[in-house]
Amino acid sequence: MSDLSVSLQALYVHPLKSCAGIAVQRSLLVETGLEFDRQWMLVDEDGDHLSQREIPKLALVEPTLRLNDLRLRAPGMLALHVSLDRVEAACRAKVHGEAVAAYDMGALAAQWFSDFLGRAVRLLRFDPAQPRWSDQRWSGGVAAQTGFADAFALLVTSTASLAELNRRLQPRGLAPVEMRRFRPNIVLDGIDAHDEDHVRDLRIDTAQGEVHLRLVKPCTRCSIPDVDPATGEQGRGVLETLTGYRADPRVDGGVTFGMNAVIVQGVEHQLAVGQTGRATLAF
């Protein structure tokens, strides 16, 4: 094992699962990841979660976290304001078939999204009183929570990995892409392309003490990186390019980019862009 010095190049919060993210300078680390990350979600009439896989135009829904509410904007729509401290009826939902406790956010929010998307949907909020646990077969026995994220609290990528992808896109006549297509929470500087694959422990120095994250599972990729976040249109080329060099035997040959992480230590610490730390590589 060896340690590399790293820094936090960027932080992203995605309040509403599969909608646009927010680049932030700092964020509180809570039990489920960055504060407010993946705490809201859209579901269909059967309670199944919806994503850009089925509805690419979700990329056009732009959230803003304010003091008392989550403001949502979308093309052709007046802003929707969702209270941070009020919910309606308790309900159940499904994330990739897994039952999850939630709260419905009411008729107004449901109508706003249904009008924008052209289909009947409901807006839900995660119920923090009923924890959702990550699979300990991957988390190495760490009792790790998450919200509406696919499976884990945090997603970690690196600037070098994106640069390598863009280097490979160029000779194919494809435009470079931004990191927001990959929807990470933490973007690292200081490691080589895809060295996050080999990071076991990531320790970040904060004003409140050390944050210790464990990188536990490669993040398999679907069609979402091919969605243009500026237009909400499904393109092609990104996933195809990744397939040429990112088939990962750890997940049965799935195409991966970035690593899922769980929290070992540091809940209630403040992460901030520019903080430094150490990444322990285990080749």
Dist. CA 166–CA 121, nearest whole Å: 36
**Run of H or E including 243:** helix 238-243
Q: What is the CATH number of the domain that holds 186?
A: 2.40.33.20
User: Average pLDDT of 111-122?
Assistant: 98
Burial class (CB in 10 A: 0-12, 13-18, 19+), 193: middle
**Run of H or E including 112:** helix 107-117
User: For position 141, what pLDDT does the model report?
Assistant: 84
**Run of H or E including 69:** strand 69-73
Whether residue 283 is predicted with pLDDT greater than 80 in this model: the reply is no
Whether residue 1 is predicted with pLDDT greater than 80 in this model: the reply is no
User: Average pLDDT of 74-85?
Assistant: 97
Whether residue 136 is predicted with pLDDT greater than 90 in this model: the reply is no
Q: What is the pLDDT of residues 189-236, one digit of tens each?
A: 999 999 999 999 999 999 999 999 999 999 999 999 999 999 999 999
Question: Nearest-CA neighbor of 166 among 154, 158, 174, 155?
Answer: 174
User: For position 137, what pLDDT does the model report?
Assistant: 87
CA angle 120, 125, 129 (to 5 degrees): 145
**Do 272 and 204 touch, CB atoms closer than 8 A?**
no
Q: What is the pLDDT of residues 139-162, one digit of tens each?
A: 888 999 999 999 999 999 999 999
Structure-token pair, residue 223: 């069609």
User: For position 30, what pLDDT does the model report?
Assistant: 98
Enclosing domain of residue 163: 2-281
Whether residue 268 is predicted with pLDDT greater than 90 in this model: the reply is yes
Average pLDDT, the chain: 97
pTM of the shown model: 0.97
| CB neighbourhood size of 103 (10 A) | 18
User: Average pLDDT of 227-254?
Assistant: 97
What DSSP state is assigned to residue 67?
Answer: S
Structure-token pair, residue 14: 């995605």
User: For position 62, what pLDDT does the model report?
Assistant: 98
Dist. CA 187–CA 217, nearest whole Å: 16
Q: How many domains does the chain have?
A: 1
Dist. CA 52–CA 55, nearest whole Å: 5
User: For position 170, what pLDDT does the model report?
Assistant: 97
End-to-end alpha-carbon separation of the chain, Å? 7
Q: What are phi and psi of 167, to 5 degrees?
A: -60, -35
Structure-token pair, residue 18: 């599969």
**Do 50 and 58 touch, CB atoms closer than 8 A?**
yes
Structure-token pair, residue 9: 């190049």
DSSP lists the bridge partners of residue 93 as 100
Q: Which residue has the higher pLDDT, 77 or 2?
A: 77
